[in-house]
């Protein structure tokens, strides 16, 4: 697990991220710091639209088992 955390830290450093919160959407758009909810909505909608129109090999699983925030699965 610590290797995954270190990978995230290195990626953030390479992107020039110096603080939190910092969100990256579709490896293309970023939001730094606290921002209004309408900005998140706009970026999410734009990112989803571009992603869903792309030829990505990523498979989205929309059904099946899931876990709750407290870890109960």
**Is the pLDDT higher at 11 or at 64?**
11
* Number of domains making up the chain: 1
Residues 50-62 as b or e (16 or more Cβ within 10 Å = b): eeeeeeeeeeeee
pTM of the model: 0.59
CA 7 to each of CA 13, 15, 17: distance values in angstroms, whole numbers, following the listed order: 10, 12, 14
43 band by pLDDT with thresholds 50, 70 and 90: very high
Summarize the confidence of residues 34-46 as an average pLDDT.
94
Position 46 scores a pLDDT of: 94
Task: Tell me whether residue 29 is in a domain.
Answer: yes
When the pLDDT of each residue in the chain is averaged and rounded to a whole number, the result is 85
Task: Tell me whether residue 59 is in a domain.
Answer: no
User: 5-36 pLDDT, tens per residue?
Assistant: 999 889 889 888 888 899 988 888 999 999 99
Task: Tell me whether residue 46 is in a domain.
Answer: yes
Domain carrying residue 41 = 19-54
Task: Provide the token pair at 34.
Answer: 């606290």
Task: Tell me whether residue 72 is in a domain.
Answer: no
């Amino acid at each position: 697990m610590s290797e995954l955390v270190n990978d995230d830290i290195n990626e953030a450093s390479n992107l020039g991220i110096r603080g939190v919160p910092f969100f990256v959407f579709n490896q293309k758009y970023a939001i730094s710091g606290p921002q209004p909810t309408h900005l998140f909505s706009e970026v999410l909608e734009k990112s989803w639209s571009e992603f869903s129109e792309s030829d990505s090999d990523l498979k989205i699983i929309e059904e099946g088992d899931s876990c709750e925030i407290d870890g109960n699965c």
